[in-house]
Amino acid sequence: MNYLHLHKPRLVALGPKIEALLDDHPSKPRCLWELSSLFRSVGNWAEAKRILTHILKLRRERGSDFQVAITLGDLSDVNRVMGLCKEGTQQAMEGSEILKRLGDATGQAKCLIILSQLLLTDGQLDTTEEAASRVIDLLPEKGNELRVCEGHRTLGNIYQKKGDTEKAIHHFKLGLAIASSLNFHWELFWAHFSLADLFFQEGRFNDAYTHVKQAKSHAVDDTYLLGRVSWLQARYLDQQHMFEEAKSEALRALSTFEKLGATEDAEVTRRLLGEIDCNAMDSGIALSDKPADDGELIKPTLLVCINFSCSDGITDTGDKGPNTHWAHCEHIESIGNM
């Protein structure tokens, strides 16, 4: 199970055999944890939660406070992804308090990172900033690089939500530098993914595209992460009114998530597909149902609004207002960075 989780994430026939072990079997919690890790690696959060809930029960019965705290941290992270912020926050806080009492700063930092991400999802930005900052203050950078990376990435997300782009980029790049020095592919992926998302929202399309390509390079052997790249591409191609390309990328992402059993991501992608279809319909465009080829990334182009007076009396009376025309500019590289 450990080998599959690290090197070949996929669902296997070992699951029922592990779950069939008696609850008092000494290795059952550990084997279940490996199974839950496999489910998490392919994005099947509901199954991961079910198994972690069982592990928590077993570890509480066995009286190991440290193992209980670690399981609470894992369970709270799954609840975060599933949008169950209240439940996840309670678990992260309990895990953090146990690890603080045990004097385990690294474990406490992990729980605080998850707590800060939960608070961020719940919109509690100031409380989130305090929790994420505590992580960086709590740990010396040497020997705890992964947690420090996560702390900087979380602070970047916080400042992005607050609209402080400069601070957000600063923390994303700090995390990126640490991850690059130790070749943490997972953190490198999410740092580039976060920067791409930020630059897309800022209208800096060339910078965003650069980070999308970098994210994809770090997801090359991870099917789930490649699906997230396709999802990100689809989202912003839709905003650029490149509806055919957006739907193609979204279909590729959906196919990936469905094959992996990543039910939450698949549902989010279906909603995105619905939005793309509606936006295309409003623009009078009929879309095909063909997913994108697994080749080069589609580069979003700058969408330019041109207002002018028509001398021939012809006007555009669509939703964007009269005398407004929209065009994709393929070759104006500098405008995307203005």
Q: Which of 104, 103, 102, 188 is nearest to 145 (CA)?
A: 188
Assess whether 252 and 312 both reside in one domain.
Answer: no
Domain that holds residue 266: 222-297
Assess whether 241 and 293 both reside in one domain.
Answer: yes
Q: Which of 198, 206, 195 is nearest to 332 (CA)?
A: 206
Assess whether 235 and 260 both reside in one domain.
Answer: yes
Q: Of 297, 314, 330, which residue is a domain's last? A: 297
User: φ, ψ for residue 162 (rounded to 5)?
Assistant: -75, -10
pLDDT number for residue 199: 93
pLDDT in tens, 257-294: 888 878 788 999 999 999 999 999 888 887 776 665 65
pLDDT in tens, 43-74: 788 899 999 999 999 999 998 899 999 999 99
Assess whether 319 and 263 both reside in one domain.
Answer: no
Assess whether 245 and 291 both reside in one domain.
Answer: yes
* Residue 272 forms part of a structural domain: yes
pLDDT in tens, 110-143: 898 889 888 888 888 888 888 888 888 877 767 7
pLDDT number for residue 239: 87
pLDDT in tens, 18-46: 888 888 898 899 989 988 888 888 778 88
* Residue 255 forms part of a structural domain: yes
Polymer length in residues for the chain: 338
* Residue 252 forms part of a structural domain: yes
pLDDT in tens, 75-123: 999 998 888 889 999 999 999 999 999 998 888 888 988 898 888 888 8
Assess whether 278 and 314 both reside in one domain.
Answer: no
Amino acid code (one letter) for 169: I
Neighbours of 311 (CB within 10 A): 6
Q: Give the total number of structural domains in the chain.
A: 2
Residues facing residue 304 across a β-bridge: 327
Q: Which band of pLDDT confidence, cut at 50, 70 and 90, is reported for residue 250?
A: very high
**How far is 250 from 259, CA to CA, in rounded Å?**
14
* Residue 18 forms part of a structural domain: no
Q: Which of 75, 71, 44 is nearest to 59 (CA)?
A: 71
Assess whether 338 and 289 both reside in one domain.
Answer: no
* Residue 50 forms part of a structural domain: no
pLDDT number for residue 135: 82
Q: By the 8 A CB rule, do 87 and 95 touch?
A: no
pLDDT at 241 over 70: yes
pLDDT number for residue 182: 83
pLDDT number for residue 265: 87
* Residue 127 forms part of a structural domain: no
**How far is 151 from 93, CA to CA, in rounded Å?**
17
pLDDT number for residue 294: 58
* Residue 257 forms part of a structural domain: yes
pLDDT in tens, 184-231: 888 899 999 999 999 998 988 889 989 999 999 988 778 888 999 999
The kind and range of the H/E element at 307 are strand 302-307
**How far is 229 from 246, CA to CA, in rounded Å?**
12
Assess whether 309 and 289 both reside in one domain.
Answer: no
* Residue 236 forms part of a structural domain: yes
Q: By the 8 A CB rule, do 112 and 134 touch?
A: yes
